[in-house]
């Protein structure tokens, strides 16, 4: 992460690509979304949580994540004894995202490395605009 892949050779980038994929595969099970932890009043007038000064039932977690389509989000209550596990799963997802971003960078650098030096160093080799037939029918590739 944060490395300059543009200076690497095709061979180095292919090795980095393979390593990055291994790292992605090694990320433990993860989940997206976010976790809120709080106390909640159940609403029963007879319950102790209805007394003034009581913070309510809990703590307990609510894990939510946005989803496509109707509803827009999905939620699940998380018992207090599973909060650490869920936090770890969320961290794993952040790690996964970082690794994927890195993997994308490596792949793009690899594509560039395979097509030659950066464009700035050989501007003359860039394909020239076709001249002389602007607006006319293309003649290349038509049979």
d(CA 38, CA 57): 9
- Say which DSSP state 68 is in: S
In the complex, minimum distance from the CB of residue 39 to Zn ion, in angstroms, rounded to a whole number? 10
d(CA 101, CA 76): 28
Q: How many residues bind Zn ion (CB under 5 A)?
A: 3
Nearer to Zn ion, 42 or 67 (CB): 42
Nearer to Zn ion, 57 or 65 (CB): 57
Kindly identify the residues of this chain, within the stretch 29-48, that bind Zn ion according to CB under 5 A.
42, 47
Kindly identify the residues of this chain, within the stretch 46-105, that bind Zn ion according to CB under 5 A.
47, 49
CA triplet 99, 115, 9: central angle to 5 degrees? 55
In the complex, minimum distance from the CB of residue 35 to Zn ion, in angstroms, rounded to a whole number? 22
Nearer to Zn ion, 47 or 111 (CB): 47
Say which residues have a Cβ less than 8 Å from residue 91's Cβ, sequence separation at least 6. Answer: 30
Nearer to Zn ion, 47 or 125 (CB): 47
**Three-class secondary structure of residue 55 per DSSP:** coil
Contacts to Zn ion by CB under 5 A? 42, 47, 49
């Amino acid at each position: 992460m944060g490395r300059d892949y543009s200076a690497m050779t095709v061979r180095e980038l292919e090795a980095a690509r393979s390593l990055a994929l291994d790292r992605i595969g090694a990320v433990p099970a993860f989940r997206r979304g976010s976790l809120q932890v709080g106390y909640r009043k159940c609403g029963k007038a007879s319950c102790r949580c209805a007394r003034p000064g009581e913070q309510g039932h809990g703590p307990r977690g609510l894990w939510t994540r946005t989803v496509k389509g109707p509803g827009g989000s999905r939620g699940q209550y998380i018992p207090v004894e599973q909060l650490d596990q869920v936090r770890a799963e969320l961290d794993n997802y952040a790690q996964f995202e970082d690794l994927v971003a890195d993997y994308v960078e490596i792949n793009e650098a690899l594509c560039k490395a395979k097509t030659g030096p950066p464009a700035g160093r050989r501007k003359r080799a860039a394909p020239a605009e076709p001249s002389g037939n602007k607006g006319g029918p293309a003649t290349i590739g038509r049979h």
